[in-house]
C-alpha cells in the first residue's frame, strides 16, 4: 500500500509559515502559475476543450467530440432558439450517426475518402490506428455549451467569491478553490440536481450530513456560508488522505476512497497518469474531467474580462448575523425585523418551507442573515418582549427512515397522514423523489405536527432512527457496554449500579450529553484499556443485497432545460461525492480484504453466509483472537459472489455512519502526537469521544495497532447537531 506522507497534514494545519505567505496572493491570482494546481502540458488540450465549452458556445449549441481525446472536436452544433426539444435531439443523433459512419470508413482502411472524411481524419494525430477509429465510432459524444451559464455564474460570484477565498485561506487551503462553484453550480445557492445534490457546493445529503445540519427545518447545504465551511472541511480531509491537490479536488466528485484506489492501483499521485490510465466502472467522464474543468474555470475566473469583455460581478454580500437566543416562528421574526418576508427568505435559503409555512420554528441559536441596515439591538429588544414561545416540543409522529423502494404515498399511508402534509413538512417538491436512508419527519395522524406538551429544554440530540442494517448493541462481556439507540448516560448508569459521574470518569467523558450509538463504554476500571485493533460492534443482521447498486454516467443534457433538470453542474454528473469515506471495501486478489474498523469475523461470516469457524480455520486464527484493522483476511466465496459481499459490507458501513452523522457533525480537525504508553483506543473513545472508524478515516495509512511515540494523528472534531432544538409549531 502506498504511504501518503504526513507533511501535507502539517501544511493544512498551518504549521508552516511558508504556506501562509503563499496564501496571501490575490483572490484572482494567475491560474497558469498556481503552486497547488499543476497544469501538465499533456492535459492542455483537455483544458482548452472546457475553456471552449465555458466561453465560446452557449446552451443553444454544443460540441460533437471524442470523449477520450478532447482535442478531437468534429463539429460545433448551434440551434435556433425556437427549435423543439424533439427536433434538437434528432439533429444531435443524426450528427452522431454521421460521424460514426465516417469513423467506420476510416477504421476500414478505405483510401477513396471524401473531403469530409479527410477533414475528420486530419483531426486525429498522425498514425492513429484503425482500431482506435473503430473505438471512436462507437462513442461520439455531445457536450452542451455552457458560455451563457458560466457568464451568469461570474456575475453571481461577486457576492461570495472573496468570502470563499478568505475562508479557505484562514483554514490553510488554497484560495484558488474559490473558483470551484463555477463547475459545481454556477454559484447558484438554490441549486438542486436530479440525484439530490443541493446548494452552491452541490453536496449530496450523505456527505453533507458529515459537516452540516440537515433536518426537517434546516438544510445548510443551501447556506452559502455554512456550506463553504463544509466544502473546505471535505477538501481538507481529501488532502490529508491523498496528499495532492489535483487528487483531493477530483475526490470532491469521485470520493476519497475512489481516488485512493486509483493512487494505489497505479502507484502514483500524478494526475495525468490517473486521468489517462485509471480504469474503474465508476470513474466516468465527469470524474475524469473534473480537475480539467476546474482548471479551465479557474483560468476564466482569474481574468474574466479576457473571455467576457465588460462583465461586472455582483457586489459582495453585506448582510449581518442575528443570533436567535430562542426558537420562534418565522412570522414573529418577520414582524420584529419589519422587512419583506421574501427578502428575509432570500437571505436565509437554508430555512426550509416547513419553517416559512409555520410547521417548524426557526431553531434556537440559528444565525439569521439580515440586511446591513437592520438595528440588531432594537430587534433583540422586540424579540425579548411579549409572551414567550412554547418550549421545545416533539413531533407527535417522530421520524421515518426511507428504505429502498418506498414512495412518499406509501409512507403517508403507513402513518395515516396526508401525502401533501408529509411533503410540506419535509420540504419536498413534486415529483417527490426520495433517497434511501433519507429521514422524514412524521406529523401526528391527520394533520401537521402538534404543539404537544412542552418539554424542558435540552441539548441532547434525539436518538438517531435506526437504519435496517444498524448493528445490535448491548453488554459485551461483564465490563463493557455498547451504546444502543436511545440510550442516555443516566439510563446506562442506573442499570449497572453506577452514577453518571462515575460512568463519565470511567470513560473520560466531558459532556454528559455526548454519547453515540455503537460507542463502547467501560463499566469497570479494568475495561478501560481495551486494545484498539479489535472491531467494536457485534454482528449485524444485514438486509439481503443481491447486487451492488449500479453506477452509471449521468445523461448528457442536450438543452439548457435538460441541463437544469439533470442538475446545475457544468460537467454532467458533477456534485460532491456521495461518500466521504476513504475506506476500501473491495475484494482484492486471492479473495482477500483489508480489515476496516467496526468489523469482526462474525460480520464477514454473516455477509458470506458461512460460519465464523470456517473463516477462522481458513485464516488460522484461534478462537477469541480478534481481526486486526488494516490487516488482510482471506474469505470463502462458496455461497455469495464478491459483488454481493461488497454490497452488504458497504451497506453496513453506510448505515453505521449515517446513524452517527444524524446526531453529530465534523467541525474541524486537530493534531495529536502519540506519547509513550498512549492507546489509540483510549484516545478515540475516551479522550476525543469519537468512533474508531472515524479516526481511521482521517488516518487511513497509519497502523492503529502499533503506533510509535511521535506518530501524528489527525483528529476530527465533532459536535452534536442540535437536532432536538427544532420545535414544531
Lowest mean pLDDT among 67-81, 565-579, 656-670: 565-579
Domain containing residue 415: CATH number: 3.10.350.10
Beta bridge partners of 671: 714
| Residue 120 confidence (pLDDT) | 97
Residue 30 reports pLDDT greater than 60:
no
Q: Which of 302, 291, 303 is CA-nearest to residue 38?
A: 291
Q: Among 102, 120, 144, which residue terminates a domain?
A: 144
- Weakest-pLDDT range from 31-40, 58-67, 213-222: 31-40
Task: Look at residue 7 and tell me whether its pLDDT is greater than 50.
Answer: no
529 φ/ψ angles, rounded to the nearest 5 degrees:
-90, 55
- So what's the pLDDT on residue 470? 33
Q: What number of other Cβ atoms are within 10 A of residue 677's Cβ?
A: 6
Q: Which domain holds residue 93?
A: 60-144
In the prediction, which pLDDT does 510 show? 57
> At 391, is the pLDDT very low, low, confident or very high (cuts 50, 70, 90)?
very low
User: Which residue would you say has higher pLDDT here, 729 or 482?
Assistant: 482
- pLDDT at position 385, please? 75
Of the listed ranges 76-90, 165-179, 544-558, the one predicted with least confidence: 544-558
Residue 113: per-residue pLDDT: 95
What is d(CA 263, CA 271) in angstroms, rounded to the nearest whole number? Answer: 9
Question: How does strand 141-144 pair with strand 320-323?
Answer: unpaired
CB atoms within 10 A of CB 273: 16
Lowest mean pLDDT among 218-227, 239-248, 484-493, 514-523: 514-523
Q: What is each CA distance from 635 to 249, 623, 628, 629, 630, in whole angstroms?
A: 34, 17, 15, 16, 15
Grid cell 444502543 in the structure block, residue: 484
**Domain C-terminal end among 144, 160, 181:** 144
Residue 556 pLDDT > 80 = no
Average pLDDT over residues 394-399: 49
Query: Which pLDDT score, from 0 to 100, does residue 532 have?
Result: 37
Distance, CA of 687 to CA of 420 (rounded, Å): 46
The answer as to whether 428 is a domain residue is yes
State residue 31's pLDDT score.
55
Mean pLDDT of 355-363: 91
Residue 412 lies in a domain: yes
Average pLDDT value for residue range 308-323: 96
Report pLDDT digits (tens) over 200-243.
999 988 899 999 999 889 999 999 999 999 999 999 999 999 99
Tell me whether residue 136 is exposed, middle or buried, using C-beta atoms within 10 angstroms of its C-beta: 0 to 12, 13 to 18, 19 or more. Answer: buried
Residue with cell 508552516: 16
Q: How many domains does the chain have?
A: 2
Residues 256 and 696 sit within 8 Å (Cβ to Cβ):
no
Please say which residue of 101, 116, 144 terminates a domain.
144
pLDDT given for residue 526 in this prediction: 62
pLDDT of residue 154: 97
- Is 105's pLDDT higher than 60? yes
Q: Within a domain: residue 328?
A: no
All three cell numbers of 128: 492513429
Q: Is residue 96 part of a domain?
A: yes
pLDDT in tens, 646-697: 999 999 998 899 889 988 999 989 999 999 988 888 888 778 889 999 999 9
- H/E element, 62: strand 61-65
Write the pLDDT tens digit of every residue in 580-620. Answer: 888 889 999 899 999 998 899 999 999 999 999 999 999 99
Residue 459 pLDDT > 60: no
Task: Return mean pLDDT, the chain.
Answer: 81
Q: In this prediction, what percent of the chain has a pLDDT beyond 70? A: 78
The model's confidence at residue 187, banded by pLDDT at 50, 70 and 90, is very high
pLDDT-based confidence at 3, cuts 50/70/90? very low
360, β-bridge pairs:
728
Between residues 92 and 561, the one the model is more confident about: 92
Q: Which pLDDT does position 561 carry in this prediction?
A: 66
Residue 582 burial by Cβ neighbours in a 10 Å radius (0-12, 13-18, 19+): buried
pLDDT for 707 beyond 50:
yes
pLDDT for the residue numbered 502? 83
Q: Which residue is associated with the grid cell 478568505?
A: 166
Is the link from the previous residue into 431 a cis peptide, with omega within 30 of 0? yes
- Whether 5 has a pLDDT exceeding 70, the answer reads no
451 has pLDDT over 60: no
Q: Judge contact between 532 and 264, C-beta under 8 A.
A: no
Domain-located, residue 81: yes
pTM assigned to the model: 0.76
Q: Is residue 36 part of a domain?
A: no
- Does residue 400 carry a pLDDT above 60? yes
Could you tell me the three cell numbers for 30? 494567475
Gyration radius of the chain's alpha carbons: 27
Asked whether the beta carbons of 550 and 185 are under 8 A apart, the reply is: no
Q: Looking at the domain assignment, is residue 411 inside a domain?
A: yes
In a domain, 682, yes or no: no
For the segment 555-563, the average pLDDT, to the nearest whole number, is 68
Q: Which three cell numbers stand for residue 385?
A: 418582549
How high is the pLDDT of residue 482? Answer: 73
pLDDT higher than threshold 50 for residue 275: yes
pLDDT at 567: 58
Grade residue 546 by pLDDT with cuts at 50, 70 and 90. Answer: very low
User: 203: which strand partners?
Assistant: 198
Q: Could you tell me the pLDDT band of residue 563, with boundaries at 50, 70 and 90?
A: low
Amino acid at each position: 500500500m502506498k504511504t501518503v506522507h504526513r507533511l501535507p497534514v502539517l501544511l493544512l494545519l498551518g504549521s508552516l509559515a511558508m504556506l501562509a505567505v503563499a496564501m496571501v496572493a490575490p483572490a484572482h491570482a494567475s491560474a497558469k502559475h498556481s503552486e497547488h494546481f499543476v497544469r501538465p502540458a499533456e492535459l492542455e488540450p483537455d483544458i482548452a476543450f472546457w475553456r471552449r465549452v465555458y466561453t465560446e458556445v452557449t446552451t443553444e449549441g454544443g460540441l460533437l467530440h471524442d470523449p477520450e481525446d478532447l482535442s478531437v472536436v468534429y463539429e460545433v452544433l448551434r440551434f435556433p432558439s425556437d427549435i423543439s426539444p424533439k427536433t434538437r435531439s434528432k439533429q444531435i443523433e443524426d450528427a452522431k450517426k454521421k460521424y460514426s459512419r465516417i469513423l467506420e470508413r476510416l477504421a476500414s482502411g478505405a483510401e477513396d475518402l471524401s473531403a469530409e472524411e479527410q477533414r475528420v481524419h486530419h483531426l486525429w494525430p498522425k498514425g492513429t490506428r484503425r482500431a482506435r477509429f473503430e473505438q471512436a465510432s462507437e462513442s461520439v459524444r455531445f457536450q452542451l455549451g455552457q458560455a451563457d451559464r458560466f457568464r451568469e455564474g461570474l456575475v453571481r460570484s461577486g457576492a461570495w467569491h472573496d468570502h470563499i477565498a478568505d475562508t479557505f485561506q484562514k483554514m490553510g487551503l488554497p484560495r484558488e478553490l474559490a473558483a470551484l462553484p463555477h463547475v459545481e453550480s454556477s454559484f447558484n445557492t438554490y441549486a438542486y440536481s436530479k440525484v439530490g445534490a443541493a446548494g452552491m457546493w452541490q453536496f449530496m445529503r450523505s456527505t453533507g450530513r458529515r459537516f452540516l445540519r440537515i433536518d426537517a427545518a434546516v438544510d445548510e447545504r443551501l447556506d452559502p456560508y455554512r456550506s463553504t465551511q463544509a466544502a473546505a472541511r471535505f477538501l481538507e480531509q481529501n488532502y490529508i488522505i491523498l496528499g495532492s491537490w489535483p487528487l483531493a479536488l477530483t475526490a470532491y466528485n469521485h470520493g476519497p476512497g475512489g481516488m485512493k484506489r486509483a493512487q494505489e492501483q497505479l502507484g502514483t499521485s500524478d494526475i495525468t497518469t490517473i486521468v489517462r490510465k485509471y480504469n474503474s466502472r465508476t470513474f466516468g467522464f465527469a470524474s475524469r474531467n473534473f480537475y480539467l474543468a476546474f482548471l479551465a474555470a479557474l483560468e476564466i475566473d482569474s481574468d474574466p474580462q479576457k473571455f467576457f469583455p465588460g462583465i461586472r460581478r455582483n457586489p459582495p454580500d453585506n448582510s449581518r448575523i442575528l443570533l436567535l437566543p430562542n426558537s420562534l416562528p418565522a412570522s414573529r421574526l418577520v414582524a420584529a425585523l419589519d422587512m419583506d418576508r421574501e427578502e428575509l427568505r432570500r437571505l436565509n435559503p437554508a430555512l426550509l418551507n416547513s419553517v416559512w409555512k409555520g410547521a417548524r420554528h426557526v431553531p434556537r441559536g440559528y444565525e439569521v442573515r439580515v440586511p446591513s441596515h437592520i438595528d440588531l439591538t432594537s430587534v433583540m429588544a422586540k424579540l425579548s418582549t411579549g409572551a414567550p414561545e412554547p418550549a421545545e416540543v416533539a413531533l407527535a409522529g417522530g421520524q421515518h427512515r426511507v428504505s429502498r423502494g418506498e414512495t412518499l404515498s406509501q409512507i403517508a399511508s403507513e402513518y395515516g397522514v396526508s401525502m401533501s402534509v408529509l411533503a410540506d413538512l419535509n420540504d419536498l417538491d413534486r415529483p417527490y423523489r426520495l433517497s434511501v436512508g433519507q429521514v422524514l419527519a412524521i406529523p401526528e395522524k391527520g394533520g401537521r405536527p402538534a404543539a404537544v406538551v412542552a418539554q424542558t429544554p435540552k441539548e441532547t440530540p434525539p436518538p438517531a432512527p435506526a437504519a435496517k442494517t444498524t448493528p445490535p448493541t448491548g453488554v459485551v462481556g461483564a465490563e463493557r457496554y455498547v451504546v444502543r439507540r436511545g440510550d442516555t448516560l443516566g439510563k446506562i448508569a442506573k442499570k449497572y449500579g453506577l452514577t453518571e459521574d462515575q460512568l463519565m470518569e470511567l470513560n473520560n467523558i466531558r459532556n454528559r450529553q455526548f454519547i453515540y450509538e455503537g460507542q463502547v463504554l467501560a463499566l469497570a476500571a479494568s475495561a478501560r484499556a481495551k486494545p484498539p485493533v479489535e472491531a467494536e460492534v457485534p454482528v449485524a443482521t444485514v438486509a439481503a443485497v443481491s447486487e451492488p447498486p449500479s453506477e452509471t454516467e449521468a445523461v448528457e443534457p442536450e438543452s439548457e432545460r435538460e441541463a437544469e433538470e439533470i442538475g446545475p453542474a457544468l460537467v454532467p454528473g458533477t456534485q460532491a461525492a456521495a461518500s466521504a469515506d476513504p475506506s476500501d471495501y473491495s475484494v482484492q486478489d486471492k479473495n482477500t480484504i483489508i480489515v476496516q474498523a467496526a468489523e469482526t469475523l462474525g460480520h464477514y461470516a454473516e455477509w458470506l453466509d458461512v460460519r465464523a469457524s470456517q473463516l477462522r480455520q481458513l485464516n488460522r486464527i484461534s478462537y477469541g483472537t480478534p481481526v486486526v484493522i488494516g490487516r488482510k483476511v482471506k474469505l470463502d466465496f462458496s455461497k455469495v459472489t464478491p459483488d454481493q459481499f461488497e454490497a452488504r459490507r458497504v451497506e453496513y458501513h453506510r448505515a453505521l455512519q449515517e446513524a452517527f452523522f444524524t446526531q453529530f457533525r465534523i467541525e474541524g480537525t486537530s493534531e495529536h502526537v502519540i506519547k509513550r504508553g498512549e492507546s489509540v483506543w483510549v484516545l478515540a473513545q475516551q479522550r476525543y469521544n469519537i468512533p474508531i472508524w472515524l479516526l481511521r478515516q482521517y488516518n487511513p495509512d497509519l497502523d492503529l495497532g502499533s503506533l510509535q511515540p511521535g506518530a501524528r494523528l489527525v483528529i476530527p472534531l465533532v459536535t452534536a447537531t442540535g437536532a432536538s432544538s427544532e420545535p414544531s409549531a
